[in-house]
Amino acid sequence: MSSHKGEFYFCEICGAEVEVKNGGDGSLKCCGQAMESKKP
């Protein structure tokens, strides 16, 4: 999975949210699981 600048992700467990500032390959994880893409 790759992330792109400007995308938002959130954790379904703790509710943490992040905005991608520098895109790249890999995945965002929080609380031991992959973060979900947040649609505007």
3 confidence band (pLDDT: 50, 70, 90):
confident
Burial class (CB in 10 A: 0-12, 13-18, 19+), 18: middle
When comparing pLDDT for 17 and 40, which is higher? 17
CB distance 34 to 13 below 8 Å? no
Here the contacts of 13-16 (C-beta below 8 Å, separation 24 or greater) are none
What distance in Å separates the CA atoms of residue 22 and residue 13, rounded to the nearest whole number? 24
pLDDT for res 2: 83
pTM for this predicted structure: 0.78
Residue 19 reports pLDDT greater than 90: yes
Confidence of residue 40 (pLDDT cuts 50, 70, 90): low
Q: What is the DSSP letter of 4?
A: -
Structure tokens given for 10: 């959130």
